[in-house]
């Protein structure tokens, strides 16, 4: 049995179905990302795992125990939200001490523990500052310190990085992964940023329209998307129809062949998009479908590709993903 078992959870708000029979397992010590478009049910699922929301039906088991009806206050978890949610009238240290004081521990122990987690998130030098004196990244690290101070059984993060600018976001991604590994704490993080999920997660749960579309490692999700939705949602994908099936292939997996060599399809260059190391070719197939092909920019130059150049494309079968449904 997994550390966390979500069994057939359904949740409705009025006529809106937020979760429709969601089942999944999360292993102890894993960092799992829940990824999906806005409104697909990510936060609702996280709130049910926290006990902040009650499911209409289904079960939540944590550490072998049925927690479906256990209120949040009786569950031992740490949580960080998108908005920093710090106490503005308390210092960094004060914010971290706040939760610790609810436990009846000796004062020295509480202070030592607060200092320990602040060192872990690299904020010890800022411990006497108030939230308004901190950058967004420092505020989120304070929230993280507060969430882990009580040694939670599990950590829940709801888009903790989305309010930060791109550079801080990337840095904090690494920080969260490092801290998660040091603590070995089972972590569930909600995001709608696929790059965040691909770089951080041990496994990704892809959701759409209140259901789970696929659960897998970042590589499995990227290389073998189980459904056309996942294929389309993660990265860039070409879709084309052949023999009543839909086939998908990523732009970087399409090869260029010599005119005299074997090839699978011919295309015409519509435009070229220089992206630094890669050049993205926007091509047109004979049946007027569009196709995207990524080639090293060096290759594009050597071949002197230009608008209206003819391309002989190879679509290696090992990179083709086939879906029975016609899209």
Beta strands in the chain (DSSP E): 4-13, 16-26, 31-35, 57-62, 65-66, 77-80, 154-158, 186-191, 203-208, 211-216, 238-242, 245-249, 255-256, 265-274, 278-284, 290-296, 310-314, 321-323
Beta-carbon contacts of 182 under 8 Å, excluding residues fewer than 6 positions away, are 120
By CB under 6 A, tell whether 15 contacts ligand ATP: no
By CB under 6 A, tell whether 33 contacts ligand ATP: no
Q: How many residues bind Mg ion (CB under 5 A)?
A: 1
Q: Kindly tell me which residue out of 30, 35, 41, 186 binds ligand ATP, with binding defined by CB under 6 A.
A: 41
Return d(Cα 139, Cα 246) in angstroms, integer. 47
102 SS3 class: coil
By CB under 6 A, tell whether 43 contacts ligand ATP: yes
Q: How many residues bind ligand ATP (CB under 6 A)?
A: 12
By CB under 5 A, tell whether 208 contacts Mg ion: no
Beta-carbon contacts of 240 under 8 Å, excluding residues fewer than 6 positions away, are 246, 247, 249, 285, 289, 291
SS3 letters for 203-263? EEEEEECCEEEEEECHHHHHHCCCCHHHHHHCCCCEEEEECCEEEEECHHHCEECCCCCCC
Strands 77-80 and 321-323: unpaired
Closest CA to 78 of 100, 58, 56, 57: 100
Please give the distance of CA 254 from its chain centroid, rounded to a whole number. Answer: 26
By CB under 6 A, tell whether 25 contacts ligand ATP: no
By CB under 6 A, tell whether 83 contacts ligand ATP: no
x-or-dash string of contact with ligand ATP, 139-178, rule CB under 6 A: ----------------------------------------
Q: 179 vs 190, which CB is nearer to Mg ion?
A: 190
x-or-dash string of contact with Mg ion, 43-82, rule CB under 5 A: x---------------------------------------
Query: Which residues, numbered 111-130, are part of the site for Mg ion (CB under 5 A)?
Result: none
Q: Kindly tell me which residue out of 21, 25, 29, 39 binds ligand ATP, with binding defined by CB under 6 A.
A: 39
By CB under 6 A, tell whether 192 contacts ligand ATP: yes
Sign (positive or negative) of CA dihedral 281, 285, 288, 290: negative
x-or-dash string of contact with ligand ATP, 242-261, rule CB under 6 A: --------------------
Name the residue with the smallest CB distance to Mg ion.
43
Q: 30 vs 158, which CB is nearer to Mg ion?
A: 158
Q: 198 vs 313, which CB is nearer to ligand ATP?
A: 198
Q: 17 vs 253, which CB is nearer to Mg ion?
A: 17
Out of ligand ATP, Mg ion, none, what residue 44 binds, judged by CB under 5 to 8 A for its kind, is: ligand ATP
Stretch that binds ligand ATP, among 37-45, 105-113, 234-242, 252-260 (CB under 6 A): 37-45
CA distances from 117 to 107, 112, 209, 252, 311 (A): 16, 9, 38, 43, 57
Q: 17 vs 309, which CB is nearer to ligand ATP?
A: 17
Question: Which residues are near ligand ATP by CB under 6 A?
Answer: 13, 16, 18, 36, 38-44, 192
């Amino acid at each position: 049995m997994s550390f966390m078992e979500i069994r057939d959870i359904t949740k409705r708000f009025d006529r809106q179905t937020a979760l429709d029979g969601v089942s999944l397992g999360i292993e102890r010590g894993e960092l799992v990302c829940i990824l999906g478009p806005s409104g697909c049910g990510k936060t609702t699922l996280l709130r049910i795992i926290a006990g902040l929301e009650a499911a209409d039906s289904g079960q939540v088991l944590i550490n072998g125990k049925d927690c479906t009806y256990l209120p949040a206050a009786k569950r031992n978890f740490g949580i960080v939200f998108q908005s920093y949610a710090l106490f503005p009238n308390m210092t960094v240290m004060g914010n971290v001490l706040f939760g610790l004081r609810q436990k009846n521990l000796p004062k020295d122990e509480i202070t030592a523990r607060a200092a320990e987690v602040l060192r872990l998130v690299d904020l010890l030098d800022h411990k006497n500052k108030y939230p308004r004196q901190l950058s967004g990244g420092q505020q989120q690290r304070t929230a993280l310190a507060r969430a882990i101070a009580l040694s939670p059984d599990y950590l829940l993060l709801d888009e903790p990085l989305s309010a930060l600018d791109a550079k801080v976001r990337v840095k904090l991604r690494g920080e969260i992964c490092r801290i998660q590994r040091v603590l070995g704490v089972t972590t569930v993080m909600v995001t709608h940023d696929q790059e965040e999920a691909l770089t951080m997660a041990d496994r990704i749960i892809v959701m759409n329209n209140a259901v789970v579309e696929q659960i897998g490692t970042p590589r499995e999700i990227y290389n073998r998307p189980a459904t056309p939705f996942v294929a389309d949602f993660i990265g860039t994908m070409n879709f084309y129809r052949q023999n009543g099936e839909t086939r998908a292939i990523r732009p970087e997996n399409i090869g260029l062949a010599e005119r005299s060599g074997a090839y699978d399809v011919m295309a015409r260059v519509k435009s070229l998009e220089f992206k630094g190391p890669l050049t993205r070719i926007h091509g047109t197939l004979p049946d007027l479908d569009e196709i995207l092909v990524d080639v090293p920019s060096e290759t594009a130059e050597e071949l002197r590709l230009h608008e209206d150049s003819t391309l002989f494309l190879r679509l290696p079968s090992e990179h083709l993903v086939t879906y029975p449904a016609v899209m």
